[in-house]
Every structure is written in C-alpha cells, then in structure tokens.
C-alpha cells in the first residue's frame, strides 16, 4: 500500500465512527429490522446490472472462446509483467487480499453509528453481521461452484480452478469497503480515490492469481463478478441504510453565464 493511500485511509479512521447518517439513523441500526420484498428485489436487480458485475461476466465469456483463456494464462506466467515471478505473484495475491479484508472492518467501524456506547456497539454488531454474512455466502457459493465445475488449475495442482476464491473474496471486500465509504463523511476528493484504489487492489489480487499459475482469466473474472454481486446484494437488501443519492445536479458560474454538472454514481 502506497504512502498516499495510508494517509488517505488515516483520514477515514479519524473522520467518523460517531455521529449519524444524513437521515439521523446510525449505520447498522436498522439491519434486519425490515424485510421489504421490494427492496430485496431491487437490491438483486441493481447488483446484477451494475457494471462491476456485468463487465467481468462479459470478460469471462470472451475468454471462454476457443483457447483464449489458456493462451493468455501461458503468456502471463511466462512474462509475469506485473509481479515479476510466479512466487511473488502468489505472495502478492495473499498480501493484497489481507489488506482489503482489514479495510472492510476498519471502514465499518468508521461509519457513523451514534454517540452512545451501547447503541453504537449494538448497531455495529448488526451491521458487521450483514457484511460477514455476505462474505460467508460469497465463499460458500465459490466453494460449491469449484466442486461442481472441477476445472483443473493451470499448474495441474488440483481441479479447484473455477471460479477463483481469491478474486471473489477480494472483490467482496472491495465492494463492502466502498459501500462503507459511501456512509462516511470525507473531505472532497478522498472518497473516489479510496474507492478506485480498492477496485485496483482487488484487480491486483485477481491478476496475481493468473501470473502465479493458479487460475485462468475466466476464473478470476467470474470470481470478481460473483464477489461483487453477492456482497452488493446482501449489503443493500439487509442493512436497510437510507438510499444513497445516485445522481446529483449542480450549477457553477462560467464567463457570461452558468454551467450545469450532472453526476451519476454507479
């Protein structure tokens, strides 16, 4: 993790934890309190249609064509362009995944859950239960698919190649951390940098598995889609947080008039 990211992450830990969300509630306070079928259905639809699910799914389908998967895997392990060697790639995938897993807990603790110790702790426990359940479900589904598909790894070590567990876990962690960052009041410009960094770190975990001769590209891409879909769905369906603003319209002065800026969050 770069020094810049450490500084920015320090801002997260020092910026919140107490206080409340914009609607006056605490993060985690309303978890499991309302099982709204419409909200659950919308969460599933939104999680599936999100580009972080659809793009890697499409990529996995492309790599499944002909022998594109195998040729890309062979090239990556021969040249190891990012990590330098298969061993370093495997170590990097573990290290980066650990960083992301720690960040999930840290960002959850930094979300505003009120100022009173008792309610704060209870809200955190409920919120963490939702996120822990999302991670657990991701890992369970990944393991079940590995057993069902039984695809040999590139190094012929075993038949647990599809989908990549490191990738599904990494993107699960990144998705939850980014959702938590949405609930934290941060200085202008810090949130998108951290959220983009999380996706890059998760991508690093995934690609390292290819360079480390542990997975084919389609394995990591499907794992990325699975990790994002499951955790985004569970988080949005059962934490019962106030709906975030998906779009914002602002005006700003320009010479001889005014400009309008539309921002849409995916």
d(Cα 178, Cα 214) in Å, to the nearest integer? 27
Which has the closest alpha carbon to 202: 169, 171, 163, 165? 171
Which residues are within 8 A (CB) of 164 and not within 5 positions of it... i.e. 6 or more apart?
142, 206, 209, 214, 215, 219, 220, 222, 223
* 106-128 confidence digits (pLDDT tens): 999 999 998 889 999 999 999 99
d(Cα 170, Cα 159) in Å, to the nearest integer? 21
d(Cα 210, Cα 206) in Å, to the nearest integer? 7
Residues 58, 219, 234, 19: what is their CA dihedral angle, to the nearest 10 degrees? -100
Contact 221, 209 (CB under 8 A): no
Q: Which helix (H) or strand (E) holds 119?
A: helix 117-149
Q: What is this structure's pTM? A: 0.86
Identify the three-state secondary structure at position 91: helix
- Residue 246's pLDDT is what? 46
Name the token pair of 65.
């064509």
d(Cα 91, Cα 86) in Å, to the nearest integer? 9
Contact 190, 11 (CB under 8 A): yes
Rounded to the nearest angstrom, the gap between the alpha carbon of residue 217 and the centroid of all alpha carbons in its chain is: 18
pLDDT by residue, tens only, the chain of 266 residues:
555 455 445 545 555 566 777 777 889 998 988 788 999 999 999 999 999 999 999 999 999 999 999 999 999 999 999 999 999 999 999 999 999 999 999 999 999 998 889 999 999 999 999 999 999 999 999 999 999 999 999 999 999 999 999 999 999 999 999 999 999 998 888 999 999 999 999 999 999 999 999 999 999 999 999 999 999 999 999 999 887 554 444 455 655 555 554 444 44
């Amino acid at each position: 993790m770069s020094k810049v990211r450490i500084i920015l992450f320090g801002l997260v830990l020092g910026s919140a934890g107490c206080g409340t969300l914009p609607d006056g509630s605490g993060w985690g306070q309303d978890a499991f309190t309302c099982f709204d079928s419409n909200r659950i259905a919308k969460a599933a639809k939104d999680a599936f249609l999100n580009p972080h699910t659809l793009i890697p799914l499409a990529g996995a389908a492309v790599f499944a064509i002909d022998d594109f998967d195998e040729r890309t895997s062979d090239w990556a392990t021969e040249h190891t362009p990012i990590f330098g060697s298969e061993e370093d790639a495997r170590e990097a995938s573990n290290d980066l995944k650990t960083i992301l897993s720690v960040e999930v807990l840290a960002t959850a603790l930094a979300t505003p859950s009120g100022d009173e110790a008792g309610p704060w702790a209870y809200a955190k426990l409920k919120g963490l239960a939702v996120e822990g359940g999302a991670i657990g479900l991701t890992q369970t589904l990944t393991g079940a698919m590995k057993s069902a598909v039984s695809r040999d790894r590139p190094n012929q070590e075993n038949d647990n190649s599809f989908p990549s567990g490191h990738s599904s876990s990494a993107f699960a962690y990144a998705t939850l951390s980014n959702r938590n960052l949405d609930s934290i009041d941060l200085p202008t410009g810090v949130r998108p940098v951290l959220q983009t960094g999380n996706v890059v770190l998760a991508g690093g975990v995934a690609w390292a598995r290819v360079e480390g001769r542990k997975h084919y590209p389609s394995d990591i891409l499907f794992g990325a889609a699975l990790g994002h879909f499951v955790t985004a769905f569970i988080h949005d369906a059962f934490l019962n947080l106030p709906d975030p603003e998906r779009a914002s319209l602002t005006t700003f002065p320009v010479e001889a008039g005014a400009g309008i800026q539309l921002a849409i969050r995916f």
